[in-house]
Chain A
């Protein structure tokens, strides 16, 4: 019998970046990259495990914004266009590199990959990746958990309970519509926890959530088992804590696997290295260079000198690293089991996009790891968090501590001199939404549409992604624009509702652009 458990949790999220108003959207390209680099490769790995009869468990959070983009026919069709162009680029690359063997084998590799991705997207997944993940859940291998409607950073929205409640409620409702069942777990955006949010989760039927390490280690009273068993918040919702060891081995930019010198270098894409004339049809039509995914170099070292990527070497490293990770978990669990009066659980959450997109070899590593766990050791087993709670319904009661998995562990990333200005607007917006909901206990026709759209606009304005972008600087203008656009739409809707003069043309236009949560109910704010 196993001595303990490992729970791998992948958090899949992208902000709502549907831009039908633009012929060519930089931001939509994030979705396309993520599908090609991460989600289809991950699905291939998981489907492969199922086909080979390997038992495994994985917990996956798919946010409502990502799920809705996966299922959007408009984005699906744009994705296929993008794939076609990249496949065409692949053919050109194979030709361009035909006298340079080391680059040529890579061009061939990418071209083949893209063909496989297209085939999988069209034939196996019928354009809708959500269904593919749903099937894995129905097979009992994957547990999908819910998350906040638009990934709002809840601690900073908590000034208005209605705002947090709506983020949770709309997110859970969306989950039920998409996956056809009640979610047991909830991924707090950025693991942003504050005392009291668990009570709101409990009210909507959630059994557990996941916190950053110090949310558990600083819980009061002191947890007996650190992060190696869940604690119960006084509300009854269980809180699991991230294990720092397994986290460092993968996440750390200094010691983590992805920085290995044989792995593919993310920042050398032909979009930046080649002539504009050659690459122009494959980047943004305004000449803005965007990644094509054709990356020919490996990390090589800490400085700018990069050598050609050698797939065989990378695969060998992935094999070594998978073995290393497994070995470390075995030792860890053996030790923990010897000092705990129950089987320890190691909770290892990661951004899904790490696998494949940022760390090209990530899905391969995960595949090898899961197969090794199944066949090369008996110390531990993979588990979902629900299964662990079923085995251990009794846990210590302790109140977790405010925390996040953001830089420095609290709220600084989303609240500092670059982005603090958004909160008075978001809080005011929530207050006005409450007033609207209270003043209109029932509504119909145009007023109902306007009220629901107001709720949508507030939710989209609350996405933590915008504050993150403004802070990181990279997409600051975009993040600012999104925040303001949606708040201004909310403001205008509010006035038109109160003045009883709703501009139907404008309403229809924003309804079709910001078309998330078709079945939203503005009364979530009452």
Chain B
């Protein structure tokens, strides 16, 4: 299901929820299912039945990779009723959304986010995958309802999550530290860099584009180990047999 999204001043790729297809397949496979109550996924363990008083609405952000973030949520019956009361007739026509706030490298004071964008969600699915267009950012979300005239009623807020970097950081001043162990743990002392010996200094001067980080990054193939081998991968799976 591809939903269209709005943004504040920013052109964004469409977000989507590919997880729901795979989740369907997982549901069809042969294992016990718990009761399908209140829109819970078929295979979730309903801790709410165990501990009603401990459960409240929540939304959690889990970055997957630099350009993809996963969100899951629970919205209590009470909170839905409150929203219905608050929005009245507008509730039925409102859209459940995740409002993402970009708070990269700032301390959020309620007003100073870099910007925000909205993602339409299907409240019943309880989770969503959102495409991002820039890596290495900090976000939190408000889950809530947006009415036709643009009014937004937040229901619950996540904590801040940071997406990973997709490339090396820029070169900057280097700082060095000496670390030793003492009775209280690690003792750290900032130290100046040792000057380069003449022979190496000359080499640096000859090769202006020299950069070991760049070299390592270029040689790097993302995660070949897990793909090739795992202690429990492929065991007893006749499909892998030649």
The chain A residues found within 8 Å of chain B, CB to CB, are: 13-15, 26, 30, 34, 156, 159, 190, 195, 202-203, 205, 207, 212-214, 216-228, 232, 235-238, 241, 243-245, 247-248, 251-253, 256, 265, 267-268, 272, 288, 290, 304, 306, 336, 338-341, 350-351, 353-354, 358, 389, 393-397, 401-413, 415-418, 420-421, 423-425, 427-429, 431-432, 435, 465, 468-470, 472-477, 480-481, 484, 487-488, 491, 494-495
Contacts and interface: CB of A to CB of B under 8 A. Distances in A.
Nearest to A425: B45
A476 B29 contact: yes
A413 B226 contact: yes
Residue from B26, B51, B197, B224 with most neighbouring chain A CB atoms (10 Å): B224
B31 interface: yes
Contacts of B78: none
B232 A421 contact: no
Contact of A423 (B72, B169, B225): B72
A425 B162 contact: no
Residue from B211, B234, B238 with most neighbouring chain A CB atoms (10 Å): B234
The interface residues of chain A, by DSSP majority, are classed as: mixed
A213 B216 contact: yes
18 contacts: A30-B235, A207-B179, A216-B213, A220-B169, A221-B169, A221-B172, A222-B168, A222-B170, A222-B213, A226-B215, A252-B224, A252-B228, A265-B242, A338-B200, A339-B200, A339-B203, A417-B19, A424-B44
Given A351-B231, A408-B222, A411-B64, A421 B179 contact: no
Interface in B167-216: 167-181, 185-188, 190-191, 194, 196-197, 199-200, 203-204, 210-216
Given A238-B179, A417-B19, A477-B29, A403 B174 contact: no
A520 to B, nearest CB: 22
B147 to A, nearest CB: 28
List of 3 A-B pairs having minimum Cβ-Cβ separation, nearest first: A417-B22, A226-B212, A221-B172
A406 B223 contact: yes
B226 A424 contact: no
Given A222-B170, A351-B229, A432-B47, A424 B74 contact: yes
A195 B20 CA distance: 30
Given A221-B173, A223-B212, A272-B241, 7 more contacts: A15-B232, A244-B216, A402-B163, A410-B65, A411-B65, A413-B226, A477-B30
Contact of A237 (B186, B217, B235, B238): B186
Interface residues of B, number: 97
A431 B60 CA distance: 13
Interface of B: 18-23, 25-26, 29-32, 41, 43-45, 47, 50-51, 54, 60, 62-66, 68, 70, 72, 74, 126-127, 159, 162-181, 185-188, 190-191, 194, 196-197, 199-200, 203-204, 210-217, 219-238, 240-242
A432 B237 contact: no
A393 B241 CA distance: 49
Given A26-B236, A402-B63, A406-B226, A420 B31 contact: no
A415 to B, nearest CB: 5
Contacts of A288: 236
Given A218-B168, A218-B169, A472 B70 contact: no
Nearest to B212: A226
Contacts of B211: 222, 226
A273 to B, nearest CB: 10
A159 B65 contact: no
